[in-house]
Amino acid sequence: MMKRIALFSAIFLFIASLGRASDQIPAPPQDHPIALVGGTVHTVSGQTIENGTVLFDKGVIVAVGRDVPLPEGTEVIRVDGLHVFPGLVAMNTILGLTEIGSVRATQDYSEMGEINPNVRAEAALNPDSELLPVARWNGITIAQVVPRGGLISGRSAAIVLDGWTWEDMTLEAPVGLHIQWPSAGGRRYYFMQRSRESRERIQERIEKIKRAFAEAKAYLKAKQAETRKVVPFHESDVRWEAMIPFLKGEKPVFIHANDLKAIEQAITWGQKEGLKMVLVGGRDAWRVPDLLKENDVPVVVTGTHRLPSRQWEPYDEPFTLPVKLYKAGIRFCIAGTGNASAEGNLPYHAATAVAFGLPEEEAIRAITLYPAQILGIADRVGSIEKGKDATLIVTTGSPLDVTTRVKMEFIQGRKIDLTSKHTQLYVKYKTKYERMKK
């Protein structure tokens, strides 16, 4: 019986592994100048250029404008009637860290235990994931891959969505430390109340986060004293070592919190700790604009396609959060829901915000430039400017329009294969039914 179970398990894992490898071959490095000529260039950070040219070489944008001189050997790609945008940035995602939700062996975004600041999301990345080409097909070129689980989940990384290995794909790591702040309140229905035991459990978990930071600070102090030869050698601890850049304020701490009380607790605590903070989720963020502005805390809005947080809130509460933050002068960006298989829907979350008042230009920045700024990689990506990476998409229209198609995509100057499992299935069954008509 045990042998039979073992055999079935092995077969199941083998079948699951087959679904983890995509057929697309990573693009080779750019080896000659390329110019996209004749399209509408949406620089995002500046003016939109009609009948513009984007010239890039060795993966970097060399020039942007109307009358750009082209060096000898330049490959000219006419994009008349098309639009050139910076590649889209997917925030707060587990792309590449999961494949099949019902198969535990294909999920690698959460570690055992509650305090895991040493976890590195990029090291768990699966470059052969079928979900990466699906996301690329709709213009996603960069993603912030984020660990989940526990209280201090680990460190996220900014990756490009093309490469042979996780080392090839890592654009910047780490870009943030992630804290899952315990929900301190908020009721979906009037009759829901937290029990005393539940409130105590929440407070215990908050204290665990505070103790972890206290220990990490003590560790940092001991290590600094060690370098000055004030104290003897201090044994290294990989958990506290990983937190040093965040304790020093060199990198941001991403605090995942949604309800009002949790946001207030987390931001107040982070301010006392001297942390550089980013709020993730933030469904009630619009209720505390002064607190966020005073501490310069940007918000990662985790999707607009959801239900209101509470029974008595208006139906459009999720749709209007971005415009409320915009009007309050709070820095923000828009992410998807965190479902890796649906990351391609990112531009439509931004489009929904536009339908409910957010200016379209701001919505496009919220999925390109603003996330790059929050991640600290805006010197390389997020807009079309000389000196930045040639990470671009060529489209038939605005990426927020569901009818728009991505015609070409470049990541660091490399032309990307836009086929995916979805496009292959489309061609396969389109051909089938065309033949049946004959």
Question: Does 406 lie in the same domain as 297?
Answer: no
Whether 242 and 207 map to the same domain: the answer is yes
Least confident of 99-113, 129-143, 144-158, 206-220: 99-113
Contact 360, 40 (CB under 8 A): no
Backbone dihedral region for residue 178 (phi beyond 0: left; psi -120 to 50: alpha; all else: beta): beta
289 and 362 fall within a common domain: yes
Half-sphere exposure (CA, 13 Å, Cβ side) for 285?
Answer: 36
pLDDT confidence of 6, banded at 50, 70, 90?
Answer: very low
Say yes or no: 143 and 174 in one domain.
Answer: yes
Dist CA 394 CA 410 (whole Å): 9
CATH number at 314 reads: 3.20.20.140
> What is the average pLDDT across 4-31?
61
Q: How many domains does the chain have?
A: 2
Check whether residue 261 and residue 386 sit in a common domain: no
428 domain residue, yes or no: no
CA distances from 380 to 61, 171, 377 (A): 10, 9, 6
48 & 98 share domain: no
Confidence of residue 4 (pLDDT cuts 50, 70, 90): very low
pLDDT given at position 124: 93
Flag whether 15 is in a domain: no
Model confidence at 231, pLDDT cuts 50, 70, 90, reads low
Instruction: Give yes or no: residues 403 and 355 share one domain.
Output: no
Residues 125 and 259 in one domain: yes
The percent of residues above 90 in pLDDT, for the chain, comes to 77
Q: Is the pLDDT of residue 184 over 70?
A: no
- Provide the residue range defining the domain that includes 45: 25-87+382-418
Asked if residue 430 is part of any domain, the answer here is: no
Residue 214 has pLDDT above 90, yes or no: yes
Q: Within 10 Å of residue 291's Cβ, how many Cβ atoms?
A: 17
pLDDT tops 60 at residue 15: no
Q: What is the pLDDT of residue 100?
A: 82
Conformation bin of residue 359: beta by default, left when phi > 0, alpha when psi is -120 to 50: beta
pTM of the model: 0.90
* Per-residue pLDDT tens digits for 281-324: 999 999 999 999 999 999 999 999 999 988 899 999 999 999 99
Q: What is the mean pLDDT of residues 206-211?
A: 96
Which segment of 107-116, 231-240, 388-397 scores lowest on mean pLDDT? 231-240
**CA torsion angle 370 371 377 378 (round to 10):** -20
pLDDT tens track for 345-374: 999 999 999 999 999 999 999 999 999 999
Do residues 82 and 92 share a domain? no
Task: Identify the helix (H) or strand (E) that includes residue 281.
Answer: strand 277-281
66 and 152 share one domain: no
In a domain, 12, yes or no: no
Asked whether residue 255 falls in the same domain as residue 359, the answer is yes
Q: Give the domain CATH number at 34.
A: 2.30.40.10
pLDDT of 234: 67
118: amino acid identity, one letter: N
Residues 80 and 205 in one domain: no
- pLDDT per residue as tens digits for the range 27-63: 999 999 999 999 999 999 999 999 999 999 999 999 9
Q: Is 13 inside a domain boundary? A: no
**Burial (CB count within 10 angstroms: exposed 0-12, middle 13-18, buried 19+), residue 189:** exposed
In this structure, is residue 75 part of a structural domain? yes
Query: Is 18 a domain residue?
Result: no
Exposed/middle/buried for 183, CB within 10 Å: 0-12, 13-18, 19+?
Answer: middle
Q: Is residue 50 part of a domain?
A: yes
Query: 168 in helix, strand or coil?
Result: helix
